[in-house]
């Protein structure tokens, strides 16, 4: 039995540019958003200044309320665990959202035993905040 836990956000640096600021501002409100082309509806994650499908620039930021679906994951001993005997694991994961086809976000799986993590499971978004209040998505099983 090895429980997963997210990294603490304190040491995680976030660089915000004018293009990505809408994403980061949404994280402050615990909202996960994705840029969607207003011309052809193609999602641009990671954010690109021009749509790769139609070359337009304008986007709307769509909230992904989930649940998400676990696409992939791994786990290994947590780098911030108490001691070498501490079984706490860090579980980086990739999650897809049906409301945004083609979009995959990365985050840590949290509050789940590693024996219960399974590709295809439904997850909800939670948040880890760095010292400046920017949010980093984390995922937990839908309760």
Residue count at the site for Zn ion (CB under 5 A)? Answer: 8
Q: Which of 45, 94, 39, 95 is nearest to 65 (CA)?
A: 95
Dihedral sign, Cα of residue 66, residue 78, residue 136, residue 37: negative
* DSSP letter, residue 113: B
- Work out how close the CB of 44 gets to Zn ion at its nearest, in angstroms, rounded to a whole number: 8
Q: Which stretch binds Zn ion (CB under 5 A): 11-19, 23-31, 43-51, 76-84?
A: 43-51
31 touches Zn ion by CB under 5 A: no
Virtual torsion, Cα 114, 115, 121, 127, nearest 10 deg: -20
- Structure tokens of 123? 């997850």
- Work out how close the CB of 43 gets to Zn ion at its nearest, in angstroms, rounded to a whole number: 9
**35 or 117: whose CB is closer to Zn ion?**
35
- Work out how close the CB of 98 gets to Zn ion at its nearest, in angstroms, rounded to a whole number: 20
Q: Which stretch binds Zn ion (CB under 5 A): 7-15, 42-50, 82-90, 99-107?
A: 42-50
> CB atoms < 10 A from the CB of 106, how many?
13
Q: How many Cα atoms are found within 13 Å in the side-chain-facing hemisphere of 74?
A: 2
37 touches Zn ion by CB under 5 A: yes
Helix (H, G, I), strand (E, B) or coil at 115: coil
40 touches Zn ion by CB under 5 A: yes
**12 or 48: whose CB is closer to Zn ion?**
48
60 touches Zn ion by CB under 5 A: no
Q: Which residues are at the interface with Zn ion (CB under 5 A)?
A: 37, 39-40, 42, 51, 53-54, 56
């Amino acid at each position: 039995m090895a429980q997963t836990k997210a990294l603490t956000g304190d040491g995680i640096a976030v660089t915000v540019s004018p293009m990505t600021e809408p994403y980061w501002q949404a994280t402050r409100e615990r909202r996960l958003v994705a840029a969607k082309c207003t011309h052809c509806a193609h999602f641009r994650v990671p954010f690109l200044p021009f749509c790769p499908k139609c070359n337009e620039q304008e986007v709307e930021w769509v909230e992904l309320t989930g649940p998400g679906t676990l696409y992939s994951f791994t786990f290994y001993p947590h780098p911030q665990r108490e001691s070498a005997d501490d079984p706490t694991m860090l579980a980086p994961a990739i999650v897809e959202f049906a409301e945004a086809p083609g979009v995959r976000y990365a985050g840590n799986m949290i509050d789940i035993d590693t024996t219960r993590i399974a590709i295809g499971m439904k997850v909800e978004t939670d948040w880890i905040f760095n010292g400046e209040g920017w949010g980093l998505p984390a995922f937990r099983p839908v309760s």
